[in-house]
Amino acid sequence: MKRLAGKPFALLGVNSDEDRKVLRTVIAREKIVWRSWFDGGSPEGPISTRWQVSSWPTLYVIDGKGIVRHVDEGGAELNIKAAEAVVDRLLREQASKR
């Protein structure tokens, strides 16, 4: 996501793994640079329960007004290209309003 550095959006992650040490290892290995919250060590944690996450990983694109614009319950394979297209469209919309 280097191409989007400095743009007006944020990436956030929620993780349900049981072991925080494993989580830290994965974050380092995969070079995850966005904030990722530990959700209690189970798929029934408070964040995943409130957002009704039923598949891991799940990706949400939320606009500046808090409206969910895209959901990908990709399981093992997320459609990152589709999410990037939504983010690009939202950034264009934002730029045209300036």
Q: The pTM is what?
A: 0.70
User: 47-86 pLDDT, tens per residue?
Assistant: 999 988 888 778 888 888 888 888 888 666 667 788 888 8
Kindly state the average pLDDT of the residues 8-33.
83
Q: What is the mean pLDDT of the chain?
A: 82
Kindly state the average pLDDT of the residues 25-46.
85
Report the pLDDT value the prediction gives residue 49, as an integer from 0 to 100: 92
- Reference 56, options 82, 5, 29, 18; nearest CA is 18
d(CA 86, CA 91): 9
The domains of the chain are located at 12-53, 54-98
Q: Give residues with Cβ within 8 angstroms of 9, minimum separation 6.
A: 87, 90, 91
Report the pLDDT value the prediction gives residue 57, as an integer from 0 to 100: 78
46 has pLDDT over 90: yes
Cβ atoms of 78 and 72 closer than 8 Å:
yes
